Amino acid sequence: MWMKEVFGTDKPVIGVLHMHAMPTDPKYDPVTGIEGVIEAARKDLHAYQDGGIDGILFCNEFSIPYTPNVRTVTVATMARVIGELKSEIKVPFGVTVAADAMKGFDLAAAVGASFIRSVLHGAAAGVYGISDIHPGELERHRAELGLMNCKTMTAIVPEGSRQIAERPLKEVAKTLAFNLNPDTILVYSDTPGSSIDVEQVKTIKEVTDTPVFASNGVKPETIEEILSVCDGAIVATSTKFDGKFYNQVDIERVKKLMEKATMARGDK
């Protein structure tokens, strides 16, 4: 298990910093501009850190709806925002470029991320159509960028999608671990915000010793059960004011979550 080395705890809770829409994104605000994106990110960063979060994951979440070929300006803007905030980041941080793993590795190399979250394998179908990921190409790109020490987190099945060739979960977990050997397998629920199926986590753990994280549905009410079976958790919307997706992060909600997490994992 590598989490203690990176995060200082065996079962980290990572907060997703939803970066505001950027140039060319449908929801971009040209009035507040890039400075508005930076300031919103700064507020969320400090709310997470002051609330006791273990790590931060920067994501272009408000680029929704996503494209598999993310535009250069998006990655450039993300790099600028992270660069502006770099001196203020006090916890380990990672990146995700939705929904373009190749660009995610580019960003990770540019900003010195400790980990990356992306879909790194498989063929799936969902609201965005069909995705067909080629792990061999991604791993070679990762190696070319000198990122083999950058920890990888990948969904076993992408959120809101189904495998094109449906296979038993155990089979997917075994072949994923053998062929790609990710540092973390992420488990999603069927719908954003709902709790994961802990039985899925137990099934995966029967066939691989790869750490398994819950990637949604993480709340103060669920964190104890989640950390009893998972090796970590990723949280986002439940930490925001009123628990609403487009709101800023609420430090009091982060504190409440981390108090529960600290008790669940028995931190001294």
Residues 6+ apart with CB under 8 A from 57: 14, 15, 16, 17, 93, 94, 95, 96, 115, 117, 234
Question: Using an 8 Å Cβ cutoff, are 184 and 193 in contact?
Answer: no
What pLDDT score does 267 carry? 80
Q: Report pTM.
A: 0.96
Q: In what order do the strands lie in the sheet with 129-132?
A: 129-132, 123-126, 161-163
257 burial level (CB within 10 Å; 0-12, 13-18, 19+): buried
Determine the Cα–Cα distance for residues 120 and 102; give it in Å rounded to an integer.
9
107 burial level (CB within 10 Å; 0-12, 13-18, 19+): buried
Q: What percent of the chain has pLDDT over 70?
A: 99
Q: Strand 184-187 to strand 212-214: parallel, antiparallel, or no bridges (unpaired)? A: parallel
Residues 6+ apart with CB under 8 A from 168: none
> Per-residue pLDDT tens for 7-45?
999 999 999 999 999 999 999 999 999 999 999 999 999
Low-confidence ranges of the chain (pLDDT < 70): 191-193, 268
What pLDDT score does 255 carry? 98
What pLDDT score does 1 carry? 79
Q: Strand 93-96 to strand 161-163: parallel, antiparallel, or no bridges (unpaired)? A: unpaired
What pLDDT score does 24 carry? 97
Give the residue from 215, 219, 191, 101 showing the smallest Cα distance to 152.
Answer: 101
Which residue is listed with tokens 């791993």?
139
